[in-house]
Amino acid sequence: MSTESIDIIRVIAITAFAGGTSFVGAIITKKKRFSEQQILTLTAFGAGILMAAAIFEMIIEAETETGITLTLLSFMGGAMIFTIADIIAEKGGGAGILLGIGVDTIPESLAMGASIAAAGPAVTLAVLLGIQNLPEGIASYREMMTGKTACSKNPRKALTAISVVSIIPVFLGLIGLFYMQGMEEAISIILALSAGGIFYMLYYDMIPKAHKERKWLPTFGAVLGFIIGFAIVRTIGG
């Protein structure tokens, strides 16, 4: 088997894991009823994972390649892009929820595909996103079933929509593999953009939502998520 074929398989595998756990989370929620506190704790856990990923696997990697000025400008740009996406999401009903599930994986998926030759960073991102997308899928499916969305509280429609969004990272990863190989500076900018978007999402949506009842358990969920995220970066990313 050629090196190119192996890289294609690797990209498909890691991006399928990174995106597919959203669908797994939705399936779990369909079969098991979670309490409000459990949902909040899972949301906080995902926030902790994302914070570790943004700091240790995105910002630091980007700054090493592009320098602090371009990294910070890209970080701010990412926050602005996600602000616009969030405005669209708030007006979009069910489409808005799907945007929230998928938009944070777009830049990371491109970066995973482009950096597959350096297995550590690509695999680390995939593992972090895969873990985070599991509770995000759980919370998103519940929201689609209880809120006013385009899915009209229809489980089949909700699962179909989430499954479609879960597949997108695979295609983006392949685009990164075929068209962004060796573009280290562009990859670093993408990572910084993503980190800025993640921080916007964390402090605008995930953290306030997780702590709206000011319970101690979600706080420790976030702490645990950050610890696990940091350990994964140091262990896999080297």
- Collect all residues with Cβ–Cβ distance below 8 Å to 54 and sequence separation of at least 6: 194, 195, 198, 199, 202
Work out the percent of the chain whose per-residue pLDDT is above 90: 23
pLDDT band at 184 (very low <50, low <70, confident <90, very high): confident
pLDDT at position 175 over 70: yes
Are the C-beta atoms of 133 and 150 separated by less than 8 Å?
no
The whole model's pTM is what?
0.84
238 CA to centre of own chain: 21
| Domain range summary for the chain, segments of one domain joined by + | 3-236
pLDDT 10s digits, 53-107: 888 888 988 898 899 999 999 999 989 988 887 776 665 444 455 555 566 677 7
**pLDDT tens string 102-129:** 666 777 888 888 877 655 578 888 899 8
pLDDT of residue 38: 86
